[in-house]
Structure 1
Amino acid sequence: MLEEATEIAIKRVIAWKIAEAMKEQKLTKTLMAKRMHTDRSHVNRLLDPANPALTLNTLQRAAAAIDYELRIDLAPKAKPKARKVKAAKIAKAAKAQKAKAA
């Protein structure tokens, strides 16, 4: 469920960025489709934040059409910080007890 929500969030950001670039460049969906060598319905799907189905090829063509560079990164997952927080709370509580005892 979290993966699906993340996928949808990523698609929303991508769709928004492409739409904003199109607005800045005054590109219509028809012109965008011509630049991507596709049809307008394909551009509609690209800009639909609820449609997470995108290929790298489509993203590359969309980026090129708006004179952008497509960058994709793969990174290790962040380690949970819960342990650090818990350890910090324990250390703080121990300090407080020492202060009361003194």
Structure 2
Amino acid sequence: MSIEFQISKPVLTWIADMQAKDVSTLAQEFVSDEKKIENFLNGLVTKTQALKLAKLAKIPFGFLFLDKPPVITRPTLPDFRNTLVAEPLSNDFYEVLEDINNKID
């Protein structure tokens, strides 16, 4: 008998959005059985899946159990890029920036 956790649909959608995917694509990456995919889409995940979700999203494990996703504020930076179609800054960029600021402090 495996332990199952209930994760709210807004949090699942938030995690999928952070990965630039939809929830059904995320479910297919985590589960192969059709019945279990339906459980995943309804927010019912196993302990292993919950741990993998938190690791994938790079969030604390407890964030998975919130009713709605937390608001994560990013520092406001001027964008001096000269391209017409500039892509938004990635999560990796903000991680490196936070690491640099921590080392400076």
Q: TM-score, normalised by structure 2?
A: 0.36
Report which structure shows greater RCO (CA 8 Å, sep ≥6): 2
Q: TM-score, normalised by structure 1?
A: 0.37
From the CA coordinates, give the structure whose radius of gyration is larger: 1
